[in-house]
Amino acid sequence: MPIRFKKLSYIYNKDMPYAHKALDEIDLEIKEGVITAIIGETGSGKSTLVEHLNALLLPSEGSLEVLDYNIVANQKQRFLKPLRKDVGLVFQFSEYQLFEETVIKDVAFGPLNFGFTPEEALKRAAEALKKVGIREEDFNRSPLELSGGQKRRVAIAGILSCDPKIIVLDEPTAGLDPQGAREMIDLFVELNKKEGKTVIIVSHDNEMVYNYCDETIVLSHGKIMYNGPTFDLFADKEKLKEFNMLEPQIVSFRNDLCEKGFRLSRDARTLKQIAKEVAEQVKR
Amino acid sequence: MDLIEIKDVSYSYDDSKKAVDKVSFSVKQGDYVTVIGHNGSGKSTLAKMIAGLLPVKEGSITIDGLEVNEENIAKIRQRLGIVFQNPDNQFIGSTVKDDIAFGLENKRVPSKDMEGIIREYAEKVGLTPFLTYEPQNLSGGQKQRVAIAGILAMAPDIIIFDEATSMLDPKGKKEIKQLMYDLAAGDDITILSITHDIEEVLQSDRCVVLNKGKLFMYDEPEKIFAHADKLREIDLDVPFIEQVREAFGKYKIRLKSDDLKGMVEELCRSGSKS
Amino acid sequence: MNNLVFGKYIPIDSFMHRLDPRAKLIGLFLMIAAVFVPKSWWVFLVIAILLALALLLAKIGIKMIVQSFKPMIMMMIFLLVINALTIKTGDILFTLGPVEIYSDAIFNTLFVIVRLLLMISITTLLTATTNPLDLTLGIEWLLHPLEIVHFPAHEVAMMVSIALRFIPTIIEETMRIMNAQKSRGVDFENGRFSEKIAAILSLIVPLFSVAFERAYELADAMEARGYVPGAERTRYHVLKFRFTDYIFILICVLVLTFSILSRFYL
């Protein structure tokens, strides 16, 4: 079941002189089982949007449907816990949320809150830690002893251990080195492909969005400017200009080749595939 | 003698592993030098040693002949500024102008001269309309510009950028990089920039590659990227243009241009020939 | 938190805003002394009139002053009840069931309450018209003489101004960590006592570790920009007494004198 926003608005400091409409009558559908990117300039409403997905924020107007939950403006929500178990939200610089004495205890914190038995919680924690690539000998270390990149993995494991159906990540690669960022993205792709999780990534990194995200949503001033396949967005020069987006180099390269008469299929997104198709045409 | 000379410098936080391991290189006056390597390769540690924020216990660092040690540190700090990664954690004043003033106050610039200096350097980095703003009302990119103005106001010879753009959004990144390129274009300021941004490396005069605390390469960027395979060995990124060269190399198509447009042209020509 | 008025700075321009923070601080102390000394309602009336005038000059509405009283209401009622039960002098005004209420109980309490309200108003006037940084500079200047006995007045002022600067950052951080922990199933509002403790720990521990990290980075940044604790520095903000500041202090001194004399002559 897709996620549906219906005429949803969110107003900060409602009824105050400095009220600010962060989301403006949004109608939006986010597909199930794919990787969706949410992009937009700072202050466009991306974070406000994702904080609705697990009811950290409740709509000022309108409603949204997530899984079996229906969240309507001005209604008391009774299903917060199950919703937050099913929709895992990983915040920016999530390494700063660790607080337990050991890595594994920290990762088991979520499952315990959601009502799993201590044994079950530890079992899930261990599985989640393995998934994110933390070695078993580090399970009982203090999270404070780990490197920045490892801490972030532990924080992500802390959400995965709750076994969410939807995983939302706010700038998961910010501050990591390129190799660390790539490994992080590989993890999300794997969660999506192997376990069928719906993955939603808020990001500024257009290169990453182009390479890994199936669908893209562009936000500007609290409104949806684009919602569709990532490939189509980046193929449209006019749109990129309109949204003030930098064109990833691979996109410019591909577009230049197309302009010069090379015929590239929709599959030719990666450099490897582009080279293969171009080479065939050059040699013919 | 070169402006910055680093000789056999090592550092370890605890006794187990060396964060910086016998690194030696020197930087000429006016050069723009980038430093790349993974997180944990010792880049920031080295930067902090040059700035005198960590003690040089093994080896030596000299700046314009002055050895970096406790005795000389006050003199060296007058000539060297450092822009850190986190825009929030280096904003000391309560407003933009107070923050630019902070260094001047430490340098004991007479109070009556400060206003003029603050205005001059705020103008230089494009902050004039924001002089009375408080940090919470500024974007990350603007905060980094405040940090740069604060350093320029001290009239330094050397500025170290320690991943100064890594926490910024694309707009902020672009602005700060442009400001850095402008500063590098002159001959008076020597820039040492720690970065993960391969495209920035291409703009620099020379590039230091660190791996596990050791100096892996130190050369002009073109020469470093000519050894793409060596960089791959230590899991570092290579510029997109080199990736293209490699990808087509697999099909025995040798592209010689050093920009993408040229490569597309080359492909067209070889396409029409056949 | 937003309706907390006490101690809040109102960033506008007015005669009171332009006064030197040192003059305002000295004025505060003089006026508080003037409120404490007298036994006569007449003095309160004079002070209240002057205060109203100052509020007018500060362009601060009476509403804000009234709001600043709100947190004190419970305390005042408590005071009234205690006094009514314990003070048994003067005339009996009326009886509430078995309790006889004496005139002294009412008047004494009212007197204390008015004194308290005046003090709050005076302090609110100061904080509303003085930006926190100037206030720190003023306090530093007042503490300056203590440097003879090695009291680090400048360092204390620097600490206070940095703390003020980081309050918004830390509030933002608190919100983010709370949201992150809520996403892991923490309920900050409901729950048993043991759950409450865990919830608070999950907020406090990360908050402290971030604060420490910030502190280290900030220390590096300050050091790199040539800050040496205890070393001599010049100042960008130079406080300057002007004619109006002297007049202001003079008025406050006169009020205090009047207040002291009132004990003997009124």
Can you give the pLDDT at residue A284?
Answer: 61
What is the per-residue pLDDT across B163-222, written as a single tens digit (0 to 9) for each?
999 999 888 999 999 999 999 998 889 999 999 999 899 999 999 999 999 999 999 999
Asked if the C-beta of A96 comes within 8 angstroms of chain C's C-beta atoms, the answer is yes
Do C105 and C203 have their domain in common?
no
Rounded to a whole number of angstroms, the distance from the CA of B141 to the nearest CA of chain C is 16
- Between chains, do B92 and C225 touch, taking CB under 8 Å as contact? yes
The tokens of C93 are what?
A: 């005004």
Query: How far apart (Å, rounded) are the C-alpha atoms in residues A1 and A32?
Result: 6
The answer as to whether A202 is a domain residue is yes
Across B88-117, average pLDDT: 94
Sign of the dihedral through C-alpha B95, B101, B105, B107: positive
Can you give the pLDDT at residue C6?
Answer: 63
Can you give the pLDDT at residue B274?
Answer: 46
Can you give the pLDDT at residue B36?
Answer: 95
Rounded to a whole number of angstroms, the distance from the CA of A99 to the nearest CA of chain C is 6
Asked if the C-beta of A229 comes within 8 angstroms of chain B's C-beta atoms, the answer is no
Sign of the dihedral through C-alpha A166, A170, A171, A172: negative
| Neighbouring residues of B262: CB distance < 8 A, sequence distance ≥ 6 | none
Do C126 and C25 have their domain in common?
yes
Q: Are B245 and B225 in contact (CB under 8 A)?
A: no
Asked if the C-beta of A206 comes within 8 angstroms of chain B's C-beta atoms, the answer is yes
List chain B residues with CB under 8 Å of C238: 111
The answer as to whether A16 is a domain residue is yes
Query: How far apart (Å, rounded) are the C-alpha atoms in residues B46 and B6?
Result: 10
Do C28 and C123 have their domain in common?
yes
Q: Which SS3 state, helix, strand or coil, does residue B32 take?
A: strand
| Neighbouring residues of A55: CB distance < 8 A, sequence distance ≥ 6 | A71, A77, A80, A83, A84
The answer as to whether A237 is a domain residue is no
The CA-CA-CA angle for residues B167, B169, B175, to 5°, reads 100
Can you give the pLDDT at residue A141?
Answer: 95
The answer as to whether C144 is a domain residue is no
Across B90-99, average pLDDT: 93
**Which residue is closest to B197 within chain A, CA to CA?**
A178
List chain C residues with CB under 8 Å of B114: 234, 236
The tokens of C258 are what?
A: 């009047």
- C-alpha distances in Å from residue A198, one per residue of A19, A182, A237, B224: 33, 19, 28, 41
**Which of A94, A99, A112 lies closest to C205 in CB terms?**
A99
The answer as to whether C230 is a domain residue is no
Percentage of residues in chain C having pLDDT higher than 90? 44
Across A247-271, average pLDDT: 89
Can you give the pLDDT at residue C231?
Answer: 86
Q: Which SS3 state, helix, strand or coil, does residue C246 take?
A: helix
Do C38 and C122 have their domain in common?
yes
Print the domain residue range for C216: 153-224
Asked if the C-beta of A97 comes within 8 angstroms of chain C's C-beta atoms, the answer is yes
The answer as to whether A201 is a domain residue is yes
Query: How far apart (Å, rounded) are the C-alpha atoms in residues A184 and A172?
Result: 8
Do C127 and C19 have their domain in common?
yes
- Between chains, do A253 and B40 touch, taking CB under 8 Å as contact? no
**Test mutation, C134, C170, C236, C237, chain B, max B CBs within 10 A:** C236
Percentage of residues in chain A having pLDDT higher than 70? 99
Rounded to a whole number of angstroms, the distance from the CA of B22 to the nearest CA of chain C is 24
What is the per-residue pLDDT across C141-195, written as a single tens digit (0 to 9) for each?
888 888 888 888 888 888 888 988 888 889 989 999 999 999 999 988 888 888 8
- Between chains, do A257 and B264 touch, taking CB under 8 Å as contact? yes
- pLDDT band of C4, cuts 50, 70, 90: low
Can you give the pLDDT at residue A110?
Answer: 95
Can you give the pLDDT at residue C1?
Answer: 39
pLDDT at position B37 over 90: yes
The answer as to whether A283 is a domain residue is no
Query: How far apart (Å, rounded) are the C-alpha atoms in residues C124 and C7?
Result: 6
List chain C residues with CB under 8 Å of A99: 201-202, 205-206, 209
Query: How far apart (Å, rounded) are the C-alpha atoms in residues C15 and A220?
Result: 43
Question: Chains with ≥3 Cβ pairs under 8 A against C?
Answer: A, B
The single residue listed with the structure tokens 């400091």 is A13
Do C37 and C69 have their domain in common?
yes
Query: How far apart (Å, rounded) are the C-alpha atoms in residues C92 and C133?
Result: 52
Query: How far apart (Å, rounded) are the C-alpha atoms in residues C239 and C142?
Result: 12
Main-chain dihedrals φ then ψ at residue C210, nearest 5 degrees:
-65, -45
pLDDT at position A169 over 60: yes
Rounded to a whole number of angstroms, the distance from the CA of C170 to the nearest CA of chain A is 13
CATH of residue A10: 3.40.50.300
Rounded to a whole number of angstroms, the distance from the CA of A194 to the nearest CA of chain C is 23
The tokens of A1 are what?
A: 């079941």
Supply the Cα-derived Rg of chain B in whole angstroms.
21
The answer as to whether A249 is a domain residue is no
Q: Are A183 and A156 in contact (CB under 8 A)?
A: no
The strand pairing partners of B223, in sequence order, are none
pTM score of the predicted model = 0.86
Do C39 and C96 have their domain in common?
yes
The answer as to whether C76 is a domain residue is yes
pLDDT at position B272 over 90: no
Domain count, chain A: 1
Across B63-85, average pLDDT: 93
pLDDT at position B240 over 80: yes
- pLDDT band of A119, cuts 50, 70, 90: very high
Rounded to a whole number of angstroms, the distance from the CA of C219 to the nearest CA of chain A is 20
Query: How far apart (Å, rounded) are the C-alpha atoms in residues B45 and B18?
Result: 11
Q: Are A224 and A25 in contact (CB under 8 A)?
A: no
Across A250-279, average pLDDT: 89
**Complete domains list, chain B, with CATH:** 4-238 (3.40.50.300)
Do C47 and C80 have their domain in common?
yes
Query: How far apart (Å, rounded) are the C-alpha atoms in residues A281 and A264?
Result: 10
What is the per-residue pLDDT across A203-228, written as a single tens digit (0 to 9) for each?
999 999 999 999 999 999 999 999 99
Asked if the C-beta of A19 comes within 8 angstroms of chain C's C-beta atoms, the answer is no
Main-chain dihedrals φ then ψ at residue C214, nearest 5 degrees:
-60, -45
- Between chains, do C182 and A109 touch, taking CB under 8 Å as contact? no
Can you give the pLDDT at residue A225?
Answer: 96
- pLDDT band of C134, cuts 50, 70, 90: confident
CA-nearest of A254, A246, A249, A252 to A273 is A254
Can you give the pLDDT at residue C229?
Answer: 86
Can you give the pLDDT at residue A153?
Answer: 94
Query: How far apart (Å, rounded) are the C-alpha atoms in residues B151 and B141?
Result: 15
Asked if the C-beta of B136 comes within 8 angstroms of chain C's C-beta atoms, the answer is yes
- Between chains, do B110 and C164 touch, taking CB under 8 Å as contact? no
Can you give the pLDDT at residue A226?
Answer: 96
pLDDT at position A250 over 80: yes
Across A178-207, average pLDDT: 93
What is the per-residue pLDDT across B24-35, written as a single tens digit (0 to 9) for each?
999 999 999 999
**Which residue is closest to B198 within chain A, CA to CA?**
A178
Do C23 and C87 have their domain in common?
yes
By CB atoms closer than 10 A (0-12, 13-18, 19+), residue B77 is buried
The answer as to whether C231 is a domain residue is no
Can you give the pLDDT at residue C5?
Answer: 59
DSSP readout, chain A?
--EEEEEEEEEETTTSTT-EEEEEEEEEEE-TTSEEEEE--TTSSHHHHHHHHTTSS--SEEEEEETTEEEETT---S-HHHHHHHEEEE-TTGGGG--SSSHHHHHHHHHHHTT--HHHHHHHHHHHHHHTT--GGGTTS-GGGS-HHHHHHHHHHHHHTT--SEEEEESTTTT--HHHHHHHHHHHHHHHHHH--EEEEE-S-HHHHHHH-SEEEEEETTEEEEEEEHHHHHH-HHHHHHTTPPPPHHHHHHHHHHHTT----TTTTSHHHHHHHHHHHHH-
Give A31-95 as a 3 state SS string.
CCCCEEEEECCCCCCHHHHHHHHCCCCCCCEEEEEECCEEEECCCCCCCHHHHHHHEEEECCCHH
What is the per-residue pLDDT across C83-94, written as a single tens digit (0 to 9) for each?
888 888 888 888
pLDDT at position B109 over 90: yes
Do C77 and C166 have their domain in common?
no
Asked if the C-beta of C165 comes within 8 angstroms of chain B's C-beta atoms, the answer is yes
Parallel, antiparallel, or unpaired: how do β-strands B4-11 and B58-63 relate? antiparallel
Rounded to a whole number of angstroms, the distance from the CA of B118 to the nearest CA of chain C is 10
Q: Are A116 and A71 in contact (CB under 8 A)?
A: no
Print the domain residue range for A90: 3-230
Do C99 and C22 have their domain in common?
yes
The CA-CA-CA angle for residues B232, B238, B240, to 5°, reads 140
The answer as to whether C204 is a domain residue is yes
Measured in whole angstroms, the distance separating CA A128 from the mean position of its chain's CA atoms is 18
The tokens of A226 are what?
A: 């684009």
Can you give the pLDDT at residue A208?
Answer: 92
The answer as to whether A215 is a domain residue is yes
Do C254 and C168 have their domain in common?
no
The CA-CA-CA angle for residues A186, A188, A193, to 5°, reads 90
ipTM of the complex, rounded to two decimals: 0.90
pLDDT at position A1 over 90: no
Can you give the pLDDT at residue B191?
Answer: 96
**Mean pLDDT across chain B:** 92
Asked if the C-beta of A157 comes within 8 angstroms of chain C's C-beta atoms, the answer is no
Sign of the dihedral through C-alpha B224, B230, B236, B242: positive
**Test mutation, B251, B252, B255, B257, chain A, max A CBs within 10 A:** B251
**Which of A84, A159, A162 lies closest to C182 in CB terms?**
A84
**Which residue is closest to C161 within chain B, CA to CA?**
B94
What is the per-residue pLDDT across A89-110, written as a single tens digit (0 to 9) for each?
999 989 889 999 999 999 999 9
Domain count, chain C: 2
